[in-house]
Structure 1
């Protein structure tokens, strides 16, 4: 006789069996009897019209949880419209399961931009036909609090399923807004064909003169193995430079199918394309998760998420920033080009034909030689000219006040409190005038703060309070003689009331606010994502500090998006002066980054110079308003001695309770501050005596790490 445990196990097994649907013809009869179109049913099930057609002709079956929803709907219809029952005079209102839902397969306006290293010159595609492969299920995702919903752009009919999908080993391609497509591909060429012809993936251009974004397919480890790729890339080079050898079977498959790879080859981020024909672009981006395509520093925890959640994170980033094209640094750089396309259509005056011409305000299509002091020591301009005149040293602060300059009153304060400026480089990019043309060389020019460029000037005579870092050097030490500075640094010396008399300058005649649209889009992405995490502009300072304390726990996916946005800012600025990579490089050789019009170290210097000057201006204003001086500064983080464990205990406020202008202010927008960390004052002094920077370690507490890391 069976035991109770065995009986229950048998019952559980029956309950777990997939629900049975009526025959395909009956499904179609019930839908027609209810007066519901296939398109309306597809919207309710969050799938495609083609999928509903497939359900009703027997070509495919829905999967869980769409299967259960479809079965519930059919059961409801069967009760109302029996096969041999009387006809109903007026169709009743459909039940909740059959109510149409808003179309959620929104394809955000994300542009296509040139490859960060070397990409094929190809053109935007013609409109894609509706995908033939069905969307088969929506995955269950982790529970999360309801977030404030931003208005979505209208769906582009060419890209009904959004910008990207995450492919699992069972052929499920998880897209944005919960959609899952059936992908039958078993080889990389088949995957590329399916993506371009059937998936409905891609995104529209951001700028009217730009290009549409190529679809992105993210491969899980299981999907990569199924397609014949190794689980890991092995080698002695830096992982980001690893790629499959040219004789690998998958590379041979791609070549045999007459597809091409960019010069980056088949690595963690691979672009597979065919040269444009008749203006039609054919290009697919692949990202391999198990090959570290998503760096944990920029995408914390994302590589370990379920495919549906990976798609959610990348989909939000694609909607608010750009479809990822590589690292967040690459994406940051590509966003600049997408928002300021180098060319536009212009009419030839002689022939009347429309041709490609320069787009005003952009950096153009050709790389530009830097001025020698703006270049790096290994750059061909420097090596070939034997330049010995020095270089710009516009870098972020790494400064610690000498312990000899600490007062007894400061040492007796109980706490050291760290403030961090939100995306300080992004704030510096706002309304920043940069050079657009090549530099011209001048001797003994009159300084003009409105002209971007590099100036050789002696600022060693500027006398400032030694308890503050010098605004002219990243170390905070006073200059000892003539040196090269970016315009903002020299202008600040003039602002402080000192005479400046440049010996030389490399200046640019054509100028513009090149980074303005980049700043605007990233600022909106940053502020909106913080708001979705509960950190909004209308909070009081006390409420803001409390919200920041818990924001990362509200929604791990959105927290990862926020981290990626911040990494996009820093990485994008850094890419403007990308150095050569690889142990085989020799000084004086050109490296791939130099072939980009966006290799512009002068623009990077302008951003960092303005950010450092902004920081010093706030430090000086704080000293004037509160009498407090910083213990240390590291880039956008500053540490102050404090009578309490909160920034509210030392930040300047007016009698009305409003923050005093000019100093540090708390808030969620770029340039405002948040709490970085709190430690005991004795901890900070101990680090300073050992030569460490408290600003580097105040967030983590125990830290005796190498300051050179």
Structure 2
């Protein structure tokens, strides 16, 4: 119409065309559920939509999926056409009015796992006041936790800014009038925050409210936390006004007090939890090593970032290590309600860790009570590799100009996949026959095993050949048998009750990792060359997604490490006395040892296959191995079959857990100098300033 108006110049027409193009381009697509509703309302199949847009039916299914691990977002040029289709369908089938963030009188969290009778259904409270929300113009993350539907319409968490505005995971905002921490907890329980349980017998995730520095100051909290109540952590003093105010309002704090991740709760009522988790950014709740740059991003972006992590992994419960351990329990809760006659009681969940058990003496750290009086050399030493080849480079290798670091993706997660671990207490036996299907610790002599001196021994973290009998986890002894050697254990601590406890943990973290890598443009369908190119700059694609990726990887390593949490508060702790972590069913150093042993064996198995093609490592550190190389490209290092495919069993490039990425490239002389100074080049090869290496 405007084209026919008098006085419209050609320059104005160009600007008007540009404005029309901006308006026509949909910036925010409807959520997956709405896309599905619109398609079905018009009687269209996914195949019909796919045919019209020139994509596969599975692609349309991924655009509509509620599963964060499967969901993808359309990209140009299909995105514009898909947005146009959704706009037309929205005109024909307008959605019902979107609900505001409702209020609820109590926390909708799940009932505790241990209970005597099923919790009765909670009646709806129609008189609860609903705080109004206003939409944000920021595009929500493709897999941020959905809000506006279900039992938790506000999503899993909120980030509170200094103006009293709560930023939700899906981009919305809601006013938070709380002027104190006690009022904030009340608001969080009314605002519809939370996330549904991951297992039918588990617990729903408690609301998480993240406090920016300005929000913390507004609530009377100090901008920095200096008081160390004990030497194992920082928290507010018990007589701090905020702590007194919380207690006076009838709330309680956990034994850890009010620190960077305080949990504030009341006793359950009618079987319903009333608990809120806070995270104080100014007190380093989000450590920069796990969440790079999280403390500097705007509240809305931080909510999107944490919401993506919550949807794909779990609503954060503390550090990534704590969350990794909590994820195990969320996926494998210890108990379930079972009927005992006319009553209900608590029973174990098959395949879960149901009660705390003490480790076998060789599995225990030296400060544990069962390790008291243990002879020297009788401890289980299953740790990751830290090895440098004695003698350095050969003459032939010195002629090569480079060293390449190859890093195994999610090595410890991959090691946990299909790993049989003990579920109950250990049982001692003398002179057992080795059985690779039985998890445990075996006292066996592997000093007779002959291996190539250019490779590290698979039986020790330092890569040294054993000098006599020692304790090993089942995966290590099984590998000796795999290599064709006889083993005759002298004694063992075995766990006949066993299962693949970590399988759902691995699967959820694997899916979270792959979905986040896809957000960064790195997918499983890339060729090796395209994969290397995508990895070279993937972190710059979306810094928020890169931070989520870092947190996912830290969740894996930290969760495995937490299985053997050492005693905290050294000033108050005395050796061979119990500490609180020992009372958790998930305090299991034997499971940690089995995972690490499997990861180390997996590394050695690949190095052995590489050696069959004449490639020998010069150093290994955990999941990173360094090789001399003729060019800076791993494509020229990794062995191939005659038809050009990767040789079986060697390190392979790819995004999946257990596959490999390029960690770093350096000149060979650099590695020689590092070795000369008695350092491991695998530790520093990723520090190359010309590369965007992985954490």
TM-score of the pair, normalised by structure 1: 0.80
> Per the alignment, do residues 243 and 332 of structure 1 end up closer, same or farther by CA in structure 2, a change over 3 Å counting?
same
Contact kept in structure 2, 1:244 and 1:251, CA below 8 Å: yes
Aligned pair partner of 2:528 in 541, 548, 554 = 541
Aligned pair partner of 2:221 in 226, 229, 233 = 229
Alpha-carbon distance in structure 1 between the residues aligned to 2:97 and 2:524: 29
Aligned pair partner of 2:595 in 607, 613, 616 = 607
Alpha-carbon distance in structure 1 between the residues aligned to 2:227 and 2:619: 40
Alpha-carbon distance in structure 1 between the residues aligned to 2:89 and 2:448: 81
Contact kept in structure 2, 1:218 and 1:286, CA below 8 Å: yes
2:125 counterpart of 1:136 = no
**How far apart are residue 236 of structure 1 and its match?**
5.2
**How far apart are residue 688 of structure 1 and its match?**
1.1
Aligned pair partner of 2:326 in 330, 334, 353 = 334
**How far apart are residue 636 of structure 1 and its match?**
0.3
Alpha-carbon distance in structure 2 between the residues aligned to 1:688 and 1:566: 28
**How far apart are residue 632 of structure 1 and its match?**
0.4
**How far apart are residue 134 of structure 1 and its match?**
2.7
Alpha-carbon distance in structure 1 between the residues aligned to 2:358 and 2:299: 44
Alpha-carbon distance in structure 2 between the residues aligned to 1:195 and 1:140: 24
Alpha-carbon distance in structure 2 between the residues aligned to 1:519 and 1:590: 30
1:153-185 deviation per Cα after TM superposition (whole angstroms, max 9, x unaligned) = 797532101000000111100001111010000
**How far apart are residue 622 of structure 1 and its match?**
0.4
Q: How does 1:613-632 map to 2 (within 5 A)?
A: 613-624=601-612, 626-632=613-619
Partner of 2:274: 282
Aligned to 1:484, the other structure's residue is in SS state: strand
2:358 counterpart of 1:369 = yes
Partner of 2:403: 416
Aligned pair partner of 2:188 in 185, 192, 195 = 195
Aligned to 2:405, the other structure's residue is in SS state: strand
Partner of 2:641: 654
Aligned pair partner of 2:343 in 333, 353, 357 = 353
1:213-238 deviation per Cα after TM superposition (whole angstroms, max 9, x unaligned) = 10000001111111111111004578
Partner of 1:394: 382
**How far apart are residue 124 of structure 1 and its match?**
10
* Runs of 5+ consecutive residues of structure 2 not aligned to the other structure: 1-33, 38-87, 103-107, 691-695
2:155 counterpart of 1:165 = no
**How far apart are residue 105 of structure 1 and its match?**
9.6
1:415-446 deviation per Cα after TM superposition (whole angstroms, max 9, x unaligned) = 10001000100000000000011100011111
Alpha-carbon distance in structure 2 between the residues aligned to 1:525 and 1:212: 19
**How far apart are residue 586 of structure 1 and its match?**
1.3
Q: How does 1:178-257 map to 2 (within 5 A)?
A: 178-197=171-190, 199-235=191-227, 241-257=233-249
**How far apart are residue 592 of structure 1 and its match?**
1.5
Alpha-carbon distance in structure 1 between the residues aligned to 2:680 and 2:121: 52
1:663-690 deviation per Cα after TM superposition (whole angstroms, max 9, x unaligned) = 0001011000001000001111111122
**How far apart are residue 133 of structure 1 and its match?**
3.8
Partner of 2:369: 380
Aligned to 1:267, the other structure's residue is in SS state: coil
Partner of 2:457: 470
Alpha-carbon distance in structure 1 between the residues aligned to 2:245 and 2:503: 43
Structure 1 residue runs of 4 or more that deviate by more than 6 Å after TM superposition: 93-96, 101-107, 110-115, 122-125, 151-155, 237-240
Contact kept in structure 1, 2:143 and 2:308, CA below 8 Å: no
**How far apart are residue 200 of structure 1 and its match?**
1.0
> Per the alignment, do residues 134 and 240 of structure 1 end up closer, same or farther by CA in structure 2, a change over 3 Å counting?
farther
Partner of 1:50: none
1:558-598 deviation per Cα after TM superposition (whole angstroms, max 9, x unaligned) = 00000000000000000000011223121012112111110
1:527-558 deviation per Cα after TM superposition (whole angstroms, max 9, x unaligned) = 01101110011100000000011110000110
2:448 counterpart of 1:461 = yes
1:488-515 deviation per Cα after TM superposition (whole angstroms, max 9, x unaligned) = 1011111111111111100011000000
**How far apart are residue 353 of structure 1 and its match?**
1.8
Alpha-carbon distance in structure 2 between the residues aligned to 1:408 and 1:502: 41
> Per the alignment, do residues 417 and 95 of structure 1 end up closer, same or farther by CA in structure 2, a change over 3 Å counting?
closer
Which one has the largest radius of gyration? Answer: 1
Alpha-carbon distance in structure 2 between the residues aligned to 1:504 and 1:104: 64
Contact kept in structure 2, 1:415 and 1:644, CA below 8 Å: yes
Partner of 2:585: 597
**How far apart are residue 298 of structure 1 and its match?**
0.3
Aligned to 1:399, the other structure's residue is in SS state: strand
Alpha-carbon distance in structure 2 between the residues aligned to 1:114 and 1:431: 29
Alpha-carbon distance in structure 2 between the residues aligned to 1:531 and 1:594: 39
Partner of 1:434: 421
Alpha-carbon distance in structure 1 between the residues aligned to 2:382 and 2:324: 20
Alpha-carbon distance in structure 2 between the residues aligned to 1:237 and 1:538: 52
Alpha-carbon distance in structure 2 between the residues aligned to 1:530 and 1:104: 33
Alpha-carbon distance in structure 1 between the residues aligned to 2:452 and 2:295: 48
Contact kept in structure 2, 1:205 and 1:213, CA below 8 Å: yes
Contact kept in structure 2, 1:127 and 1:158, CA below 8 Å: no
Partner of 1:509: 496
> Per the alignment, do residues 674 and 114 of structure 1 end up closer, same or farther by CA in structure 2, a change over 3 Å counting?
farther
Alpha-carbon distance in structure 1 between the residues aligned to 2:487 and 2:325: 34
Alpha-carbon distance in structure 1 between the residues aligned to 2:110 and 2:208: 11
**How far apart are residue 653 of structure 1 and its match?**
2.0
Contact kept in structure 1, 2:385 and 2:462, CA below 8 Å: yes
> Per the alignment, do residues 667 and 112 of structure 1 end up closer, same or farther by CA in structure 2, a change over 3 Å counting?
farther
> Per the alignment, do residues 127 and 542 of structure 1 end up closer, same or farther by CA in structure 2, a change over 3 Å counting?
farther
Alpha-carbon distance in structure 2 between the residues aligned to 1:158 and 1:276: 18
* Runs of 5+ consecutive residues of structure 1 not aligned to the other structure: 1-39, 44-92, 116-121, 704-709
Partner of 2:569: 582
Partner of 1:4: none
> Per the alignment, do residues 94 and 123 of structure 1 end up closer, same or farther by CA in structure 2, a change over 3 Å counting?
closer
Aligned to 1:699, the other structure's residue is in SS state: helix
Contact kept in structure 2, 1:202 and 1:213, CA below 8 Å: yes
Alpha-carbon distance in structure 1 between the residues aligned to 2:120 and 2:549: 30
**How far apart are residue 403 of structure 1 and its match?**
2.7
Aligned to 1:134, the other structure's residue is in SS state: coil
Supply the RMSD in Å over aligned alpha carbons.
3.0
Contact kept in structure 2, 1:486 and 1:606, CA below 8 Å: yes
Aligned to 2:686, the other structure's residue is in SS state: coil
